Amino acid sequence: MFPCKIRLSCFLQLSLMTGVLTALHEISVSTNVGTIIGNMEIVEFDGESRYVQRFLGIPYAKPPVGERRFERPEPFGKFSDTHNATFHRPHCLQTIPLFYEHLEDFDKSEDCLYLNLYIPGNTTSRENKFAVMIYVHGGSYAIGGADIYSGDILSTFNDVIVVTVNYRLNVFGFLSNGTKSSGNFGLWDARMAIQWVHDHIRTFGGDPERVTLFGNSAGGSGVMYQAMNPKNKGLFQRIISQSGTSLAFWASQRNPSDLYFQYIKDVGCDLIEFELIAKCLRNKPAEELQTESFNFVPSVDRDFVLQEPASLLSGDSLAGKSVSEFFAEIDLIDGVTSSDGAVSVPTWQAQLEKKNIDISMGVPRSYFEKVQVPARLTGVFGDTSAVLTETVIHQYTDWARPDDPVATRENMIDLESDTWFFVPAIEAVQKHSAILKKSTSFFYVFDQKPSFVPIPKWLKGATHTMDVAYVFGLHESLERKLIDDQDAIEPFKVTQDDIKLSRSLMAMWSNFAKSGNPNSPVSTATIDWPQFDSKDQKYLILSVNMTSQSVKNHPMATRVAFWKDLVPVLRRRCKVAPLTSDAPMLSVWLSSTALILFVCSIFL
């Protein structure tokens, strides 16, 4: 057993969420990389108080600066002295300008490869064997940081160790020249953090045989990328992908080399040889390399990401077979929020305000047809055909009220939800449930509109990322993010229903980490969350008052079938051939695949 020494209070801290004055104590743990100093504090949730231990800002890799810029991470190794892990380190450098006000308060640096540990109780012992949950933050692979998501409450009130991780973002994390083994530094960073946890978590009382990766949005796709890399075998056993999978169109670059050559030209490193380009990039101040682009995300490097994610999970190739076999061994929770697509509302609102249109009254059909649908199809596929555009318009029109601006607005959100989140999430869980061996598959739709984010009043259900606060126990660390960027009420406060749902979600997530089953060992609700299988496709609607009616079958079945079955046929047969000026009238008649193929044949 490694000793854990507790020193008397260094100072007193006022908890903003609970209003409870708690003493902060310094603690130390001896590890095989050196002594680490952390702290211990009493935290409160729903009137109950417990101890939590924190070790903040532990380096898992050497600073990725100088010659290590645009290279895979190197293990940090041993500490030369006692390491002070009582405070957070900077976020990684971000996309500029920052569109999210809450991020302005955080320091940012190239030296950012640190992780944070949250451990339940007041004793650190190898004998505890807590299940471990590693959180990979979201933010389009471009923004964010680990310390926004404090694991205090999730950890200590659910008897799990929570780990949050910084990884390189944007161009620093995902610049690729398109050659083999180029790029994906952010994925390699996360993998090294996972490896560090595997190697050292037993010292802190964690069980390296019960490790769960979880993440939201880009973080959700990031943990699925880890679950599709057979080199990770043995490092973790489960993943939770919240509103993000590696199958989403936004989770991978189509043409990384094109983006690379444009970027090096923009920063003045447009040289002949890759070695000279790399030297030029490493010699520039980091600030000169920052970019406004959100396009730097994972890419197929034929090393970490062997092929396009969708083709890998088909298992047709040798690489796909090895990936599918590993993916099948991993327990999976996959899910979305009911109005995930509302993430696009601020963009629409800004565009419509220029035309003096109030989005709260709805959206004109012309905007839907001429702006949103073409933009979304181009985003998903890179190009589109007139027939596909018209077919999508037909699919997402309420023909009982085709010109109703409110109905149009709702259909626009459905289109965004389906293309950004729902279809790739459902496809991922379908593929997993079809190939799983002894693992488990679960799917959810989070459908609770938080009391603390009442705006916009017209929006139904839960927007993108609204489940995150509940998973982390409505922690005060998320208050600024929710107030500044999600229009949460200020001063921030939650209702008893919010607390009730948070307690349920934390229990489900931590149960899954402990056993691969969100229903046990701790009772979570009156309803049992059934596994997702290929036949019945059962899933759970997560809300404050769950009943047997919260279990549904075949999530968004008609919409998913449209994108999985019909759209690929249209893309193969219709290419980008234009239609005549009378083409929009076709949308009234497009009711079967055979008719659509007939129409396509006319214009090819």
The residues spanned by each domain of the chain are: 4-305, 340-558
Mean pLDDT of 94-108: 82
Both structure tokens of 364: 């004109």
Q: Which fold has domain 340-558?
A: Rossmann fold (3.40.50)
Distance CA 587, CA 530 (A): 39
Q: How far is CA 78 from the centre of its chain?
A: 31
* Per-residue pLDDT reduced to its tens digit, 116-155: 999 999 988 888 899 999 999 999 999 999 999 999 999 9
> Length of the chain, please?
604
pLDDT at 126: 80
The CATH class of the 4-305 domain is: alpha beta
Question: 336: helix, coil or strand?
Answer: strand
| Residues 575, 385 contacting (CB under 8 angstroms) | yes
Distance CA 450, CA 467 (A): 9
Cα three-residue angle 40-41-42, rounded to 5 degrees? 140
The closest of 212, 203, 237 to 160, measured between CA atoms, is 212
- Cα atoms in the Cβ-side hemisphere of radius 13 Å centred on 339: 21
The closest of 164, 166, 141, 145 to 103, measured between CA atoms, is 145
Sequence-ordered list of residues with C-beta below 8 angstroms from that of 31, at least 6 positions apart, any chain: 2, 200, 203
pLDDT at 37 over 50: yes
pLDDT at 20: 37
Exposure string of 538-554, with b = 16+ CB inside 10 Å and e = fewer, is bbbbbbbebeeebeeee
Strands (E), 498-544: 538-542
* Per-residue pLDDT reduced to its tens digit, 425-467: 999 999 999 987 789 999 999 999 999 998 899 998 999 999 9
DSSP string, 229-249: -GGGTTT-SEEEEES--TTSG
Question: 402: helix, coil or strand?
Answer: coil
Strands (E), 308-440: 331-337
pLDDT at 573: 82
pLDDT at 5 over 50: no
Band of residue 196 on the pLDDT scale cut at 50, 70, 90: very high
Compare 468 and 311 and report the one with higher pLDDT. 468
Sequence-ordered list of residues with C-beta below 8 angstroms from that of 258, at least 6 positions apart, any chain: none
Question: 283: helix, coil or strand?
Answer: helix
Give me Rg for the CA atoms of the chain.
24
Band of residue 384 on the pLDDT scale cut at 50, 70, 90: confident
Distance CA 111, CA 106 (A): 14
Distance CA 333, CA 441 (A): 6
| Residues 32, 203 contacting (CB under 8 angstroms) | yes
* Per-residue pLDDT reduced to its tens digit, 307-336: 999 888 887 888 889 999 999 999 999 999
The closest of 526, 493, 490 to 507, measured between CA atoms, is 526
| Residues 175, 186 contacting (CB under 8 angstroms) | no
Burial class (CB in 10 A: 0-12, 13-18, 19+), 400: exposed
Distance CA 477, CA 148 (A): 6
Peptide bond preceding 521: is omega within 30 degrees of 0, i.e. cis? yes
Q: How far is CA 485 from the centre of its chain?
A: 17
Sequence-ordered list of residues with C-beta below 8 angstroms from that of 389, at least 6 positions apart, any chain: 373, 374, 377
Euclidean distance between the first and the last CA atom of the chain, given in angstroms as a whole number: 73
| Residues 529, 508 contacting (CB under 8 angstroms) | yes
The closest of 66, 44, 50, 74 to 172, measured between CA atoms, is 66
Sequence-ordered list of residues with C-beta below 8 angstroms from that of 54, at least 6 positions apart, any chain: 38, 39, 40, 41, 85, 86, 116, 117, 118, 119, 152
| Residues 301, 176 contacting (CB under 8 angstroms) | yes
94: which strand partners?
Answer: none
Strands (E), 468-542: 538-542
Other beta carbons within 10 Å of 218: 25
The dihedral sign for the CA sequence 208, 212, 216, 218: positive
pLDDT at 487: 87
pLDDT at 317: 86
Question: 211: helix, coil or strand?
Answer: strand
The H or E element containing residue 274 is helix 274-283
pLDDT at 351 over 60: yes
Distance CA 161, CA 510 (A): 10
Mean pLDDT of 195-210: 97
* Per-residue pLDDT reduced to its tens digit, 16-33: 333 333 557 899 999 999
Both structure tokens of 592: 């079967």
Band of residue 485 on the pLDDT scale cut at 50, 70, 90: confident
| Residues 498, 153 contacting (CB under 8 angstroms) | no
The H or E element containing residue 351 is helix 345-353
DSSP-assigned letter for residue 512: H
pLDDT at 23: 59
Provide the whole-model pTM. 0.92
β 551-553/538-542 pair status: antiparallel
H, E, C per residue of 177-209: CCCCCCCCHHHHHHHHHHHHHHHHHHHHCEEEE
Question: 210: helix, coil or strand?
Answer: strand
